[in-house]
């Protein structure tokens, strides 16, 4: 049966690769396994979520508005204005915000919106950092673009070196996914970096999509956002979209709630596209999500908990494995010389599941910028994280 040949270009999902890598390895340690390979926060979801969903029991027979309820979009716009100190009217609920059923589906669908048949008479390119969140490659390849993974190594501060992108690539660029704070390395982009990225997008006329879903998990200072950079450049939102999620901010990955905001022309086209095939968020869930965006009280203690876990990790691992405190996000990105070997040993000897960095990056052998690393998600409670760090230090130490 003929199916879309582009699908053959999609690499295997990192987690099924991990299952394959660890298949047949029986942990020798007779203790409960600890899964630190997946970035799924195990912290408590604010109780208001369950209450509001229960109160919405009469709404399950209703189709939800696919762009988000007015209240949901207003809560997102107000949160952006608070979080990034934006002036009144810069982000309006109607023109600048669309609800997403989690950012994953929106980031993927963006490829359908942003990738033309070709650009400047040549095959369109989609740029993203390397290592990267899997969906960026999907947004490129499933929509017919060339995927251009830009190395984001320690040498470039774990972000792509914007000055090193070749003009012939920029000329073909239709879309650039930037992740800040970065998954997996936790790097944050400062105002100068974001301004430069926005200028590139405008000079070369491509969509800059900044995935800011880790922006509320930070160690010391709140990471700058792309909308702040737009403001610093005069307030125009041209070419820029930002993606935000409740999955990490509010420990609500199961709620599937996020949004995209930015350039009103892009939002209008996205809205039209989503009226054909966007995933809608059920009304009771949108009501709960509205309350979460309106609430800050649960966010600070959540952030404080991550900081305490970084303290634990630093005490156990500091000075080894290239340990550094990530300025944003909740992953450790540890240099263990050979990430695949380390992940196998940790599973066999310590029942600790981590993700080889190579599985979340592209490139063969030494060309893969993740090969020396493992990604460790600090998503459990403090006691579990402490046990996990001790096991890691003992096996790899
Ligand atoms: C960098 C990044 N972006 C987006 C997402 C998707 O989050 P969600 O679809 O839950 O909003 C994730 C999830 O892990 C992620 O790590």
Give tens-digit pLDDT for 283-342.
Answer: 999 999 999 999 999 999 999 999 999 999 999 999 999 999 999 999 999 999 999 999
Ligand 1 center from residue 104 Cα (angstroms): 6
CATH fold of 5-44+299-396? 3.90.1150
- Quote the percentage of the chain above a pLDDT of 70: 100
Whether 49-294 and 5-44+299-396 are alike in CATH topology: the answer is no
C-beta separation of 193 from 224 below 8 A: no
232 lines ligand 1 (CB under 6 A): no
131 lines ligand 1 (CB under 6 A): no
Torsion-angle region of residue 341: left (phi > 0), alpha (psi -120 to 50) or beta? alpha
99 lines ligand 1 (CB under 6 A): no
Query: Tell me: the pLDDT tens digits for 13-26?
Result: 999 999 999 999 99
Residue 206: predicted pLDDT: 98
C-beta atoms surrounding 195 within 10 Å? 18
Question: What order of strands is seen across the sheet that includes strand 146-151?
Answer: 97-100, 258-262, 240-245, 207-211, 173-179, 125-130, 146-151
Please state at what angle helix 70-84 crosses helix 283-294, rounded to 10 degrees. 20
Query: Tell me: the pLDDT tens digits for 71-98?
Result: 999 999 999 999 999 999 999 999 999 9
Ligand 1 center from residue 252 Cα (angstroms): 12
Q: Is the C-alpha dihedral spanning 305, 308, 313, 318 positive or negative?
A: positive
- Domain residue limits, the chain: 5-44+299-396, 49-294
Query: Tell me: the pLDDT tens digits for 150-159?
Result: 999 999 999 9
Residue 2: predicted pLDDT: 87
CATH fold of 49-294? 3.40.640
Ligand 1 atom closest to Cα of residue 40: 14
The answer to whether the pTM exceeds 0.95 is yes
Question: How far apart, in whole angstroms, are the C-alpha atoms of residue 366 and residue 347?
Answer: 24
250 lines ligand 1 (CB under 6 A): no
């Amino acid at each position: 049966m003929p199916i879309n040949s582009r699908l053959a270009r999609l690499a295997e999902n990192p987690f099924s690769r991990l299952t394959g890598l660890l298949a047949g390895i029986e942990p020798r340690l007779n203790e409960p396994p600890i899964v630190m390979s997946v970035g799924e926060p195990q912290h408590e979801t604010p109780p208001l979520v369950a209450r509001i969903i229960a109160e919405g029991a009469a709404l399950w027979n209703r189709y939800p508005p696919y762009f988000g309820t007015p209240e949901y979009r207003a809560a997102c716009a107000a949160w952006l204005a608070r979080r990034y100190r934006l002036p009144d009217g810069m982000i309006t609920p109607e023109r600048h915000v669309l609800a997403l059923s989690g950012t994953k589906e929106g980031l993927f669908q963006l490829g359908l919106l942003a990738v033309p048949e070709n650009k400047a008479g040549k095959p369109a390119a989609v740029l993203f950092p390397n290592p990267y969140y899997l969906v960026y490659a999907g947004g490129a390849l499933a929509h017919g673009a060339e995927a251009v993974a830009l190395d984001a190594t320690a040498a470039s501060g774990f972000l792509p070196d914007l000055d090193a992108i070749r003009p012939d690539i920029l000329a073909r660029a239709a879309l650039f996914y930037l992740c800040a704070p970065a998954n997996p390395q936790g790097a944050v982009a400062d105002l100068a970096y974001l301004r430069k990225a926005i200028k590139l997008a405008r000079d070369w006329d491509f969509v800059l999509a900044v995935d800011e879903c880790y922006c509320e998990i930070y160690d010391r200072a709140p990471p700058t956002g792309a909308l702040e950079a737009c403001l610093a450049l005069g307030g125009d939102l041209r070419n820029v979209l930002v993606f935000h999620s409740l999955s990490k901010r509010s420990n609500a990955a199961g709620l599937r709630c996020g949004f995209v905001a930015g350039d009103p022309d892009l939002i209008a086209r996205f809205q039209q596209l989503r009226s054909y095939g966007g995933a809608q968020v059920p009304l009771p869930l949108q009501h709960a999500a509205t309350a979460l965006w309106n609430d800050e009280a649960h966010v600070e203690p959540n952030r404080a908990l991550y900081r305490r876990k970084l303290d634990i990790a630093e005490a156990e691992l500091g000075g080894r494995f290239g340990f550094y405190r990530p300025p944003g996000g909740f992953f450790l990105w540890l240099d263990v010389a050979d990430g695949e070997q380390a992940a196998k040993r940790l599973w066999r000897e310590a029942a600790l599941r981590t993700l080889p960095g190579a599985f979340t990056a592209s490139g063969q052998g030494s060309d893969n910028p993740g090969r020396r690393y493992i990604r460790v998600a600090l998503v459990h409670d403090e006691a579990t994280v402490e046990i996990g760090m001790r096991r890691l230090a003992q096996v790899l130490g």
